[in-house]
A and B are shown apart, each in its own frame.
Chain A
């Protein structure tokens, strides 16, 4: 099993450009999550999904959109990138909470200039 994979690993964007980050999991998890990690801030939840076709906002959703068209995939989109979105993005998946732990992908380092 590959677990949780993320594409791409690194990306540099110019302000105003758009991009999509792809997350895939092969553990048949219902729940999927997108976090961002900034220095000294820990991980903050951007959006999450409780199942195929569903999405919900997390703590810091502004400037991002998500889609969950297939159970195994969770896409994070930036429509018009801003320097404040420079961060490391982590995808995670889990069985139904609250007890189940989340499994994390390797992260995507995004720089917006």
Chain B
């Protein structure tokens, strides 16, 4: 089973529409961290947000918001009033303690968002 599931492979929206990217994770740890990264067409990965398992407060940053729900093991990402510059691949990632005692980051397969002008 995948530890991080991003069920939406590709999404297309028209500019100014709202869009939600889903992320479902699986872990047995009580302490873990969740991340979202953005990969624009230029290719680099840009960190967007980090959330730890003890903080279920939703976060808003400008047009971006994140909804963390431990009860459903989900960490969804919403873009309000989407813009063409939001076109990118978005990755959700989980950091938990590995069997060797270190903390490894496991990425989902990504959701490609295309915002059409």
Contact = CB atoms under 8 A, between A and B. Distances in A.
Interface string A32-49: 010000001111110010
B50 A99 contact: yes
Interface centre among B4, B33, B104 (most CB of A within 10 A): B104
Contacts of B91: 42-43
Interface stretch (B66-74, B75-83, B107-115): B107-115
Contacts of A59: 104
Contact of A98 (B37, B43, B97): B97
Contacts, number: 55
Interface stretch (A14-22, A71-79, A100-108): A100-108
A56 interface: yes
Interface residues of B, number: 27
A58 interface: yes
Given A56-B100, A90-B45, A104-B44, A42 B52 contact: no
